[in-house]
Amino acid sequence: AQSVTQLGSHVSVSEGALVLLRCNYSSSVPPYLFWYVQYPNQGLQLLLKYTSAATLVKGINGFEAEFKKSETSFHLTKPSAHMRDAAEYFCAVSDRAGGTSYGKLTFGQGTILTVHP
């Protein structure tokens, strides 16, 4: 069974400050890991994904995440927050799919990021 824990349901930062959103996962097989962003009343948009290539993954909008197997973590960071980054962020884990098999996505509870001027 796989699971995801996002530490902190709400994170508040000042504009220009470092953003750090924490995600720890549990998986019985080497996982695929994802970060999605959701703006109010919209669907989810993929920020970045880890699929066993480089452990430091760069995504859109200046975000990046580092896969640390020893810590079972996949924390999301951005060096300098912008007002437009205010949204809800979801970490997700998938067991690997190969060939025609299906990889189910399990989502964390979400972290709401607030950015203050």
Partner 1 sequence: DGGITQSPKYLFRKEGQNVTLSCEQNLNHDAMYWYRQDPGQGLRLIYYSQIVNDFQKGDIAEGYSVSREKKESFPLTVTSAQKNPTAFYLCASSMVAANEQFFGPGTRLTVL
C-alpha pair distances (Å), 111 with each of 12, 40, 51, 114:
10, 13, 22, 10
Binding residue for partner 1, selected from 100, 114, 115, 116, defined by CB under 8 A:
100
Q: Is 2 in the site for partner 1 (CB under 8 A)?
A: no
Binding residue for partner 1, selected from 28, 70, 84, 102, defined by CB under 8 A:
102
| Structural tokens at position 80 | 């300098």
Q: How many CA atoms lie within 13 A of 60 on its CB side?
A: 9
Q: Is 98 in the site for partner 1 (CB under 8 A)?
A: yes
> Is 66:59 a contact under the CB 8 Å cutoff?
no
| Least Cβ distance, residue 35 to partner 1 (angstroms) | 12
Q: Is 50 in the site for partner 1 (CB under 8 A)?
A: no
Q: Is 7 in the site for partner 1 (CB under 8 A)?
A: no
**Residues 6 or more apart in contact with residue 27 via CB below 8 angstroms:** 2, 93, 95
Binding site for partner 1 (CB under 8 A): 9, 32, 34, 36, 41-46, 49, 51, 90, 94, 96-105, 107-110
